[in-house]
Structure 1
Amino acid sequence: MTKFLFFTLCFLLTVSTCFSQEIIPLWPEGIPNDQETNETETRENGDIVWIEKVQKPTLEIYLPTKKNATGRAVVICPGGGYRGLAYDWEGTDIAKYLNSKGIAAFVLKYRLPKSKDVISGYNAPLHDAQRAIRLVRQNAEKWNVSKDQIGVMGFSAGGHLASTLGTHYDQGEKSNTVDSLSARPDFMVLIYPVITMKAPTTHGGSRNNLIGEKPKQEFIDLYSNELYVNKNTPPTFILHSSDDKSVPVENSILFYQALQREGVYSEIHIYPTGGHGFSLAIGQGHLQSWVERLWDWMDSLE
């Protein structure tokens, strides 16, 4: 091997190491609400990375340099109608952008309700989101974040999961040291979120995948998150477009109205156009400025 080739390989390995990210299991001691089947996780690498049938939920960790770190952290819940996960489009791409603002980001690959491995489908995503917040809180010092500046961000059905976490963070049992930590996010960022399970405002696909095509009224009410806002609900930033044909903008309006009734610090931005699933909205005119509105709002948090 020539010296040139040797040093080239060393350089490439160094660059690869610098940009690689750690992925950790959510439940290293054993996944709750799980059973063994012959199902396997699928990943399609097309225009976006699309994941279905999640078998082992994980957190993918993106940390800014210590010099740029603000101490703030965000757990990101990609959307996908509770059928799959738009993992890079509404996950890792967002994490990289957050890092550019000094924010630590953690992409949550959460279990999906219709996976054969999940025994009780409707509560598996919430349990994974609760565990994600608790893991970040447990490892705050290691990851250079503040325990009281850990938020959650969700897109579409991931926005429903994020708002479920923000309104149902105490739901479920606490069985060990990690679970004894608070799962309450310190703030929420909801991007074109599904909020309600009530027709006709809900997103039909998300509702069917989460609680079934003919759900009992108790499940419709339980996962209509606008009904569970109270004074302890975290401060919330909401973004939607008026012409969203998949998730009606009324979802965001319902949640914002509930937040206002309870006096929760909140901000909503409704753009006239943008449709659904625009992610960072790069190249989409003034819609792409939504991230600046988010940074302004984050700076206003105490």
Structure 2
Amino acid sequence: MNRKIVAFLAFLATINSIMAQDTIMPLWENKIPNQVKSNEVEHHEKNDILWITNVQNPTLEVYLPAKKNANGKAVLIFPGGGYHGLAYDWEGTDIAKLLNTKGIAGIVVKYRLPISKSLFDSKNVPLQDAQRSIRLVRYNADKWNIDPGKIGIIGFSAGGHLASTLGTHYDENVYAKNGEEDVLSARPDFMALIYPVITFDGKVTHGGSKSALIGEQPSQEDVDYFSNELRVGPNTPPTFLVHAVDDDAVPVENSLLFFKALKEHKVSTTLHVYPNGGHGFSLALDDNHLKGWVDRLLDWIASLD
């Protein structure tokens, strides 16, 4: 056979292998709940990070380790951005690639943002996307070499608020059944919250995330509903928390409140508080002390066996 043809076929095989390994799939097969047509357009801006706004078509971006390396665990990743945008690579795809090095499937959730004019009753939309995402992963677990009982979540900043909302509201009915996968549990088996927004208590909350999700003048009912330290129960998943004391955007008290609630309900929890780091440090590769949080996380996930 002609060498050029052989090379071309080898190239196609490589591409097919890559495509089978990493997948982007829509979150909703049928009608997307709480969404209406508008002139809004999803926007991707790439500077130091990839910043996504006006999400119109929520997706899962699936990064799988080699089958021989896979340990059956998976983590869904919720990037932060104050519910105004998504720091998609900084707190998303880079995290997925890191997890792959330890045999863990990393799945980035591009979730809809409540400030979008394409939405109605928008305060429930991020939770709809979060519940749907973990159900889809469970539904595809066998295909992706994932143990359906070892699926966790990680969220950063406002993505941490969404993750903690999923971890404390997983059994609430927030959307109509969209497919057979929606009969599956939306409970994460474990969760990691990195400099998370937890509470909407005005003293220590992140005002931008709060107003984006529930408005400038929310009802006390909404404030309490989305203050996730108030929603912890004995079945809340085991939780790993990381925060910096000098975080001026999302005060460390957010993680402390959640840790206290978990402890009171006898939920297994680990908290790492660093003296310095500020907010939004992602992998913290430029800080020899702070970057150790990643090793602590990976050790913790390994300990869950």
Q: Do Structure 1 and Structure 2 share a fold, with TM-score over 0.5?
A: yes
Q: Which amino acid aligns with 1:153?
A: I
Q: Relative to structure 1, is the Cα distance of residues 274 and 15 closer, same or farther in structure 2, using a 3 angstrom cutoff?
A: farther
* Counterpart position of 1:299: 302
TM-score normalised to the size of structure 1? 0.95
Cα deviation, residue 11, structure 1: 6.7
Cα deviation, residue 221, structure 1: 0.4
Q: Residues of 2 paired with 1:3 and 1:258: CA distance?
A: 65
CA displacement, residues 88-141 of structure 1 (integer Å, 9 cap, x when unaligned) = 000000000000010001100000001111111111000000000000001110
Q: Residues of 1 paired with 2:234 and 2:101: CA distance?
A: 32
Contact 1:167/1:233 (<8 A) preserved: yes
TM-score normalised to the size of structure 2? 0.94
1:1-302 equivalent positions in 2, closer than 5 A: 18-19=17-18, 21-172=22-173, 173-175=175-177, 176-302=179-305
Q: Residues of 2 paired with 1:7 and 1:156: CA distance?
A: 49
Q: Residues of 1 paired with 2:107 and 2:42: CA distance?
A: 20
Identity of aligned residues (%): 59
CA displacement, residues 226-280 of structure 1 (integer Å, 9 cap, x when unaligned) = 0010100000000011111110000000000000000001100001111110111
Cα deviation, residue 13, structure 1: 5.9
Gaps of 5+ in 2: none
Q: Which amino acid aligns with 1:101?
A: K
Q: Residues of 2 paired with 1:14 and 1:250: CA distance?
A: 51
Contact 1:192/1:247 (<8 A) preserved: yes
CA RMSD, aligned part only? 1.7
Cα deviation, residue 190, structure 1: 0.3
Q: Residues of 2 paired with 1:100 and 1:299: CA distance?
A: 13
* Equivalent residues, number: 300
Q: Which amino acid aligns with 1:296?
A: D
Which moved further from structure 2: 6-15 or 165-174? Answer: 6-15
Gaps of 5+ in 1: none
